[in-house]
């Protein structure tokens, strides 16, 4: 069986990656529609050797569509979600708009695929740093429940879009020429610098990115009270995020067992060479499907603690790949029911 697919936000950083993944993974589709803002209407993109015109999104665009992969930002998702659901299509949404909505499953296929069965027309793709951490630690959590997570992230410019990546390059050139770096897309200069994540701050002093890691991980793991604290930082890396993760278990977790589990789990790859002091780097992770895990070691400050170092491609597993895997799951399990849902969002 094949279906009609639309990519909403097809011209963006994640959108173009979605297009590439649908092609390389040979997703069973009949017809592919590329939707973006009116700015891009009429431009073209290539898919399987064919040239497809990008269309401005409008209500009629979803009439004959079964599956929408949306990555055009929260406000665009909010603006079109009801139209998509009412038209009988299923929306896999990459934005944060509906992630914490109790009627919307939040899915990482390696972790909670069964939760997707109960969707009502919208399935949310988690935040990128959350996906990367969740995939890496879930296999350990299955062996022994995690009691507390302390995570610090080192997030690349790609998380802020293609224009932010360009800005880091321009700022780097400016600094090397002895000029002042000018921030335009990002709030502060990122080249040769770093700053705490620029998402809005909450009353507790955490930024929204940090709270996404807390709340979304709890929802994906179905552990509403799991203790999590996060510090998110933007670093001058172009693509792929890194994370230093400290895990606390109820009982000691042997490093040897943790390595063995990571080595055989889906979606992750154990990468460590202790002789060479070589561990995952964003450069290794860029363009890769698997999340790289290394430097697994005993926390010397806590008998039940483990330390992990993780790198993952934020645009791939952190966004587009996870969304396509959700779409594949829906196809495989015949959960892409196109009967109209009564969901109101
Ligand atoms: P466009 O290229 O026409 O602006 P990125 O995350 O890389 O910034 O990409 C955002 C994506 O979302 C782009 O494809 C962009 O299209 C699309 N987009 C942004 N705003 C809208 C909107 N109001 N309606 C539809 N698509 C939008």
Q: How far apart are CA 285 and CA 237, in angstroms?
A: 12
- Assign residue 18 the CATH number of its domain: 3.40.50.720
Shared domain for 51 and 87, answered yes or no, is yes
- The answer on 137 and 89 residing in a single domain is no
Q: How far is the CA of 7 from the centre of ligand 1 (A)?
A: 11
Domain interval for residue 139: 129-314
Residue at 106 is within a domain: no
95 Cβ inside 6 Å of ligand 1: no
End-to-end CA separation in angstroms for the chain: 29
Do 306 and 328 fall within a single domain?
no
Q: Judge contact between 185 and 267, C-beta under 8 A.
A: no
Domain match, 20 and 151 both:
no
Q: Is 241 a catalytic site residue? A: yes
* In a shared domain, residues 138 and 70: no
Same domain? For 174 and 71 the reply is no
pLDDT digits (tens, 9 = 90+) for 259-302: 999 999 999 999 999 999 999 999 999 999 999 999 999 999 99
Establish if 156 belongs to a structural domain.
yes
pTM as predicted: 0.97
Mutate which of 10, 34, 35, 36 for ligand 1? The one with the most ligand atoms within 8 Å of its CB, which is: 36
- Flag whether 121 is in a domain: no
Percent helix, strand, coil in the chain, to 5, is 35, 25, 40
DSSP letter for 116, please.
G
Which tokens in the block code for residue 7? 């990519």
In a domain, 113, yes or no: no
Please tell me whether residues 168 and 34 are part of one structural domain.
no
Per-residue model confidence (pLDDT) at position 340? 74
Q: Does 168 fall in a domain?
A: yes
Residue 73 Cα to ligand 1 middle (Å)? 7
Ligand 1 centroid–CA 200 distance in Å is: 21
Options 197, 232, 241, 311, the catalytic residue: 241
- pLDDT tens, residue order, the chain (345 aa): 889 999 999 999 899 999 999 999 999 999 999 999 999 999 999 999 999 999 999 999 999 999 999 999 999 999 999 999 999 999 999 999 999 999 999 999 999 999 999 999 999 999 999 999 999 999 999 999 999 999 999 999 998 888 999 999 999 999 999 999 999 999 999 999 999 999 999 999 999 999 999 999 999 999 999 999 999 999 999 999 999 999 999 999 999 999 999 999 999 999 999 999 999 999 999 999 999 999 999 999 999 999 999 999 999 999 999 999 999 999 999 999 756 788 999
Asked whether residue 199 falls in the same domain as residue 293, the answer is: yes
Contacts of 248 (CB under 8 A, 6+ apart): 146, 147, 148, 149, 150, 299, 302, 304, 305
* 232: annotated active-site residue: no
Domain count, the chain: 2
CATH number at residue 302: 3.30.360.10
Residue 112 lies in a domain: no
- Is 124 a member of any domain? no
Asked if the ipTM is above 0.95, the reply is yes
Annotated binding site, which residues?
11-14, 39-40, 99, 155, 158-159, 208, 234, 314
Same domain membership, residue 327 and residue 286: no
Distance of CA 75 from the midpoint of ligand 1 (Å)? 10
Instruction: Specify if 91 maps to a domain.
Output: yes
Q: Which atom of ligand 1 is nearest to the CA of 54?
A: 3
């Amino acid at each position: 069986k094949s279906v009609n697919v639309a990519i909403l936000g097809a011209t963006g950083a994640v959108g173009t990656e979605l297009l590439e993944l649908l092609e390389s993974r040979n997703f069973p589709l009949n017809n592919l529609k590329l939707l973006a803002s009116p700015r891009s209407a009429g431009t073209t993109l290539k898919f399987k050797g064919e040239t497809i015109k990008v269309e401005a999104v409008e209500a009629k665009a979803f009439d004959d569509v079964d599956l929408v992969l949306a990555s055009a930002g929260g406000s665009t998702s909010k603006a079109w979600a009801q139209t998509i659901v009412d038209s009988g299509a299923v929306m896999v949404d990459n934005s944060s708009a509906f992630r914490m909505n109790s009627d919307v499953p939040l899915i990482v296929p390696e972790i909670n695929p069964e939760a997707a069965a109960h969707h009502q027309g919208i399935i949310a793709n988690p935040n990128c740093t959350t996906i990367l951490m969740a995939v890496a630690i879930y296999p350990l959590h299955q062996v022994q429940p995690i009691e507390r997570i302390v995570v610090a992230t080192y997030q690349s410019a790609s998380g802020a879009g293609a224009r932010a990546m360009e800005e880091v390059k321009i700022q780097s050139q400016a600094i090397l020429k002895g000029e002042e770096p000018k921030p335009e897309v990002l709030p502060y200069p990122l080249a040769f610098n770093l700053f705490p994540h620029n998402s809005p701050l909450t009353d507790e002093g955490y930024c929204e990115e940090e709270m996404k890691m807390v709340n979304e991980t709890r929802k994906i793991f179905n552990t509403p009270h799991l203790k999590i604290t996060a510090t998110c930082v933007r670093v001058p890396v172009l693509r792929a995020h890194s994370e230093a993760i400290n895990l606390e278990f109820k009982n000691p977790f042997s490093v040897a067992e943790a390595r063995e589990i990571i080595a055989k789990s889906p979606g992750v790859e154990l990468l460590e060479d202790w002789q060479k002091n070589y561990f995952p780097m964003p450069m290794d992770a860029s363009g890769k499907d698997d999340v790289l895990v290394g430097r697994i070691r005993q926390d010397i400050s806590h008998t039940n603690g483990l330390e992990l170092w993780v790198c993952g491609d934020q645009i791939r597993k952190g966004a587009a790949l996870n969304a396509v895997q959700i779409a594949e799951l829906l196809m495989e399990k015949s959960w892409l029911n196109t009967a109209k849902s009564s969901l109101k969002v």
